[in-house]
Amino acid sequence: MVFLEFEKPLEKLYEQLDKIKQVGEEGDIDVSDKIKELENKIKSETKEIYSNLNGWQKVQLSRHPERPYTLYYIESICKKFVELHGDRYFKDDKAIVGGIGKINGQSVVILGHQKGVNTKLRQYRNFGMANPEGYRKALRLMKLAERFNYPVVCLIDTPGAYPGLEAEERGQAEAIAKNLFEMAQLKVPILCYVIGEGASGGALGIGVGDKVFMFENTWYSVISPESCSSILWRSWDHKEKAAEALKLTADDMLGFGLIDEIIKEPLGGAHNDPEKMAKTLRLHIKNELGALMELTPDQRIENRLVKYSNMGEFTRITETAKTEEKQKKESK
Amino acid sequence: MGWFKRLKDGIQTATKFKKEAPDGLWNKCKSCSELTTIKELKENLYICPKCDYHVRIGSHDYFDIIFDGKYKLLFEDIVSKDILGFSDVKTYENRLEAAFIKTGLKDSISVAHGKCGRKDFVIAAMDFSFIGGSMGSVVGEKIARAIDYCIENRYPFMIIAKSGGARMMESAFSLMQMAKTSVKLAQLSRNKLPYFSFMTDPTTGGVTASYAMLGDINFAEPKALIGFAGPRVIKETIKRDLPEGFQTSEFLLDHGFLDFIVHRKELKERLETVLSIFNTDDQMEEVA
């Protein structure tokens, strides 16, 4: 098991538990009571820790090395699945995966960022950082979905689009922009789930949909806390402060009205019970699709237009001037 | 009371006198170090007479260049607010305040309606001098309203991009402006109205990855920096030097992401030609 910094108290308890179990196996002493006691303690401690996570801790949790990734969810929730490869222009991007599948009897196109599960695979997957061909593959699959009237499910988990030389040559910006533009008017329903990291344009590039959800222990922001720290504080040391300032947790995002709902994770995070997490996701998709499939394509596109047009907070100075005047009068 | 006390409250200098272009008497070219008088430079549309370097200029300068004389500013009453209570080494509120005073502008984008070659035209132009031309909620909202205005009146639309990217101080709100502007441009496109994207130095980050790359026609000023990731970030990622001319307008033209590059002196004429071909007036021109 991997323990994050703020999980250290748990690590000790787990160590104790292992020791007691060992004692129980070696000797003839009955330790079942003690084990039960410790297990309860772990549970309550976990609850305690997890109910008070700050922004930076959620960022760490979203990057937990044991956290399930896109392909795990796809395999768990699709009864059938065929992975499709390539953008048909240049190559197959390993950082975005996708294909056709069946969820709850409904044919879908499901795709998402994919990170590697070990050192070798992490490199193979480019740490979940897609190149333009990844976004173009995603769009190709969405267009396929549109032709056959299948809904699209997008799973978002990326530290950002890849900032490489070749990515620029092949139009990283154009690839992302095109996806935003096309997803805005795709005729079929699109559900987006942030399952891990939601960093900037790289996340949004497969993140425009009828509904956008975030798993409980994930984040969504215009920039990673590290990069934000390096730009605004000119040092990498203020990532915790940056994480707070960016207001990037699922709770923040729901509060701002920028996402539709938070998906509860099992106690201790998705990696503590991946099966349960996958089941939650499967049932959630089923419920959401049911409602969305009843609308006409035009209604869905119109709803998306309204949804995104409403995003943004600003002041009308004429109004401000009026209220200020009022306040002045009142204070007099 | 000192004799120098300001008689009126606030800064009264009109925006058009607050050019982003350098003030003083002389300008030293950033590219070739040639000294030119500001007057001469201005008459030359802020282009270095020796090496053709295009000095960065502001939104209102572009309006002056492109429109046939007068134009009307739109949606000037929309201003940024500190939604998150954001604070790094400075508070966002202070940064905004400083930007208002420094530029005399309301935000990093201004929208204007005028005529170009006697054709109605709506332009949203960005100012780099306002917090690095960063895109926050106001940029998204002004573009959205400009698009509504174009749809209502059937006018063609252009955005002049000049931006370091999304405005960090509005975090996810600024990120979502990428989606908002793209969704609105899709609406404009469904209404069969042309959208031109004109990229100027610099155009990077979330701005490039949304409206800047979505033009029916994409074009740029010569030698502008245009890209998604900034050159410094890329250099750190790949750990080698970047080739000469990487991420310039010429590089993008060569790689197929621009339709053409236009010299500032030819800008108006080129736009007039393009506008005369895209016929958005509902009445058809008489066939000769």
pLDDT tens for each residue of B22-76: 667 888 998 899 999 999 999 999 999 999 999 999 999 999 999 999 999 999 9
> In this predicted structure, what is the pLDDT of residue B279?
76
Looking at the complex, report in whole angstroms how far the Cα of residue A268 sits from the nearest Cα belonging to chain B. Answer: 26
How long is chain B?
A: 288
pLDDT tens for each residue of A264-288: 999 999 999 999 999 999 999 999 9
Is there a single domain that holds both residue A25 and residue A70? no
Contact B180 A308 (CB under 8 A): yes
Q: At what angle do helices B171-190 and A297-309 cross, to 10 degrees?
A: 140
CB atoms within 10 A of CB B114: 19
CB atoms within 10 A of CB B232: 10
Number of domains making up chain B = 2
Contact B168 A223 (CB under 8 A): yes
ipTM above 0.95, yes or no: no
- In this structure, is residue B288 part of a structural domain? no
Look-up: residue for tokens 């490039």?
B208
Q: Which residues of B touch A304 (CB under 8 A)?
A: 183
Domain limits for position A37 = 5-52
Question: Contact B46/B263 with Cβ under 8 angstroms?
Answer: no
pLDDT band of B283, cuts 50, 70, 90: very low
With a CB cutoff of 8 Å and minimum separation 6, the contacts of B86 are A245, B92, B168, B169, B170, B171
Q: Is B144 exposed, middle or buried (0-12, 13-18, 19+ CB in 10 A)?
A: buried
- In this structure, is residue A164 part of a structural domain? yes
CA distances from A46 to A231, A242, A274, B214 (A): 35, 26, 17, 48
Is there a single domain that holds both residue A183 and residue A45? no
CA distances from A66 to A273, A274, B107, B184 (A): 11, 10, 44, 39
Q: What is the mean pLDDT of residues A200-210?
A: 97
Which among A266, A212, A268 is positioned nearest to A11, based on CA atoms? A268
Domain limits for position B48 = 21-55
Among B77, B168, B186, whose Cβ lies nearest the Cβ of A184? B186
Is there a single domain that holds both residue B166 and residue B47? no
Is there a single domain that holds both residue A35 and residue A121? no
- Predicted TM-score (pTM) of the model is 0.91
Return d(Cα B89, Cα B18) in angstroms, integer: 27
Return d(Cα A310, Cα B172) in angstroms, integer: 14
Return d(Cα A285, Cα A150) in angstroms, integer: 13
CA distances from B37 to B8, B29, B57 (A): 32, 11, 16
Contact B77 A177 (CB under 8 A): no
Is there a single domain that holds both residue A259 and residue A112? yes
Q: Which residues of B touch A248 (CB under 8 A)?
A: 171-172
Is there a single domain that holds both residue A34 and residue A64? no
